[in-house]
Amino acid sequence: TREFTYVTDIVEGYIRASLTKEVIGETINLGSGIEYSVREIAEKINQMMGNPIKLLIGALPYRRKELWRICGDHSKARRLLNWEAKVDLETGLKDTIGWYYKNFKDIK
């Protein structure tokens, strides 16, 4: 699983951290706290784009030493920075796909 956090949320967290003297020297995780499998994300993106390709789930073997779960605890960010991710996965993917369509017209 992976945790996906939209870029504007991360930037807001960085800005808040840079303006908060009390967090100098602290390690603070910024994240949504919601995990999705990589398969779920691939299927969701493909579906949102109108299923333009056939996903080949499992076509490649798992990588040696694969990290199976990446999700951070962002409670320190909430507490010290009054920060929380605002952009949900669906909105973030929709915006990202729209950006790609706008900037790379040939992928439609």
Q: What's the rounded Cα separation, in Å, for the pair 13 and 30?
A: 7
* pLDDT tens, residue by residue, 11-25: 999 999 999 999 999
pLDDT tier for residue 83 given thresholds of 50, 70 and 90: very high
The torsion defined by the Cα of 90, 50, 36 and 99, in degrees rounded to 10, comes to -50
Q: Where are the alpha helices (DSSP H) in 24-70?
A: 38-48
pLDDT tier for residue 27 given thresholds of 50, 70 and 90: very high
Tokens of 53: 């390709």
Q: Write down the mean pLDDT value for the chain.
A: 94
pLDDT tier for residue 108 given thresholds of 50, 70 and 90: low
